[in-house]
Structure 1
């Protein structure tokens, strides 16, 4: 019987068998235990981090407007959630959006597949993990990152909306980071849509009944999130939000032009 040889993607490189290190790049950066001699290599790590930013910015700079779809990598292709992800990917393309995912299987593959098969631009931003998670086959533009924080920057910089289907810790991490960035004004106020009322309602009830009354967040912060099961509503929320922003910008420009004309006339 032919022995199966493990394979791992590490940034742009592919490693097999005994060449695969026992830790990931993120682990080696963040783990301070053990001998400290590797600390002297940190300047080289900074250059590698810089290179990831440069490569990501260069490849993604000319993307059209896009929506980012998050969700579990463990979602099975025969599940209703997978089919829903496909529908959302297709409908986002029909509304004029590229689709960005983490590039892996599950919900990520579903959204990429729906967009791809509808003729849209499908993007995958992968990450080096201790276990192999290869890019799904429905991606037009794909990047593999070593560092989570670089990858997160790309998600935020090149998306105009977040669509979050049921998922695990990684999905929750992306969701709450997005909410925090919008809440604090670090990124422009754009829509965050949760898909799956049965899955997300318990979490939102806890936020509403515990976090709000205890003063940890404001009741208005819940307005940053829209919950639905309907893929058409997902797209409608995103499109309506962007049209509202465009109207506001047009009104601001009109007021500024009126002020300039008044100043010139005086």
Structure 2
């Protein structure tokens, strides 16, 4: 954390938080009204404070990544249920077991890109995932094995979700708002890689494609790993034939199968 003590002459807010722990115990000091507003969890979680919470959730990861000097990221979206090939015998379906090969490709791809990132002192092309299991774990794992840092953008869910063990601890974030989390996925994105997945992966993929299609986000290398999977669940050509998207929209992304092919497409992507 930056030391801002010399920027202004006022007493530091953290000092007041510490001082508040040593005040006399009286009915007045125990009352919720007496709590410092920014240190009052009940107050901060009020419905009326939602705009403030949205701002804070946007600002905290932004400041941390700025302080770490991270300039660009490589985004990995993909299914939390896709297993490590070493454990594919425990997959719930044969299809998931077969898709375990993409865990390997995500891990390998992240390793290659992280080696490149380290050549830029870890500031560019930093791997970012949703921080969970499956493809996300593979991405963070590949970065860790390359000796570099990677980002995990976790989200609080009704069922327990913890960061996978390969996320760089200082870059392991947690979100309440899906919208703010999505912004942090894309604010520094130099490339988007989408692996087979479920509703969450589809949501992230289509929202990002929509941002690029509508010019709200600049076009970046957009790679779909697993052509057979994606063409089975989405009839891309039917969308174009129906006129609901244009034929040119099909050029916003490329299909790839391997980490090496993905790297080659990124390197040859039109600028």
With the shorter chain as reference, the TM-score category is 0.7 to 0.9
Q: Which residue matches 1:216?
A: 244
Residue among 165, 169, 182 paired with 2:199: 169
User: Aligned residues, how many?
Assistant: 202
Residue among 56, 68, 81 paired with 1:74: 81
- The secondary structure found in structure 1 opposite 2:263 is helix
Q: Deviations over 1:34-69 (max 9, x none)?
A: xxxxxx943212111111111021112331321000
- The secondary structure found in structure 2 opposite 1:68 is strand
Residue among 177, 187, 209 paired with 1:157: 187
Q: Which residue matches 1:13?
A: none
1:112-131 paired onto structure 2 within 5 Å:
112-131=140-159
| 1:109 aligns to 2:114 (yes or no) | no
- TM-score, normalised with respect to structure 1: 0.73
**1: CA distance, partners of 2:47 / 2:254:** 42
Q: Which residue matches 1:138?
A: 166
**2: CA distance, partners of 1:80 / 1:217:** 31
Deviation at 1:76, TM superposition (A): 1.2
Q: Which residue matches 2:106?
A: 85
**1: CA distance, partners of 2:267 / 2:255:** 15
Deviation at 1:149, TM superposition (A): 0.3
1:216-235 paired onto structure 2 within 5 Å:
216-235=244-263
Deviation at 1:203, TM superposition (A): 3.9
Structure 2 CA distance for partners of 1:64 and 1:119, relative to 1, 3 Å? farther
Deviating more after overlay: 88-97 vs 173-182:
88-97
CA RMSD in angstroms comes to 1.5
Mind listing any 5+ residue stretches in structure 1 that lack a counterpart? 1-39, 246-266
Contact 1:60–1:158 (Cα < 8 Å) also in 2: no
Q: Which residue matches 1:188?
A: 218
Q: Deviations over 1:85-134 (max 9, x none)?
A: 11111122133321000000110000110111012221100000000110
**2: CA distance, partners of 1:64 / 1:138:** 21
Contact 2:76–2:193 (Cα < 8 Å) also in 1: yes
- TM-score, normalised with respect to structure 2: 0.71
Contact 1:95–1:235 (Cα < 8 Å) also in 2: no
Contact 1:122–1:139 (Cα < 8 Å) also in 2: yes
- The secondary structure found in structure 2 opposite 1:199 is helix
Contact 2:102–2:225 (Cα < 8 Å) also in 1: no
- The secondary structure found in structure 2 opposite 1:194 is strand
Q: Which residue matches 2:231?
A: 201
- The secondary structure found in structure 1 opposite 2:190 is coil
1:19-38 paired onto structure 2 within 5 Å:
none
